[in-house]
Amino acid sequence: MRWELRLSREGERLDATRASGPLSPPRDRSPGGMHPRIESPHGWKRKKPSEMLTSEFRPFRRMLMGLSIACCAAIASPASAFDIKSGVSKESGPFDLFKFGFKAYKNGQKEEAVEAYKYAAEKGHTGSRWALANMYADGDGVAQDDFEAFKIYSEIAQQGVEPGSEDTGFFVNALLSLANYYKRGIPGSPVKTDLNQARQLYFQAASTFGVPEAQFQLAQMMLAGEGGSTSTQQAKKWLNQARKSGHPGAMAVFGNILFQEGQAANGLALMTAALDRCKPKDCGWMESLQEQAFSVATESDRRSAVALSHKIAVNGAD
Which backbone phi and psi does 230 adopt, to 5 degrees? Answer: -80, 135
Report the number of secondary-structure helices (H) and strands (E) in the chain: 13, 2
Give me the pLDDT at residue 82, please. 61
171-185 burial, b at 16+ Cβ within 10 Å, e below that, comes to: bbbbbbbbbbbbbbb
Question: What local confidence, expressed as pLDDT, does residue 232 receive?
Answer: 97
Non-local (6+) Cβ contacts of 17 within 8 A are 3, 4, 6
Residue 130, in any domain of the structure: yes
In the structure, what pLDDT confidence band is assigned to residue 267 with cuts at 50, 70 and 90? very high
Say if 147 falls within a structural domain. yes
Domain presence at residue 222: no
224 part of a folded domain = no
The domain in which residue 173 lies consists of 2-212
The pTM of the full predicted model, rounded to 2 decimals, is 0.75
In one-letter notation, the amino acid at residue 258 is L
H/E element, 149: helix 146-159
What's the structural domain count of the chain? 1
Residue 160 predicted with pLDDT over 80: yes
CATH code, domain carrying 200: 1.25.40
With pLDDT > 90 as the criterion, what percentage of the chain qualifies?
A: 67
- From 3-12, 150-159, 227-236, the region with the lowest mean pLDDT: 3-12
> pLDDT averaged over the chain?
81
Mean pLDDT of 181-199: 98
Residue 12: per-residue pLDDT: 39
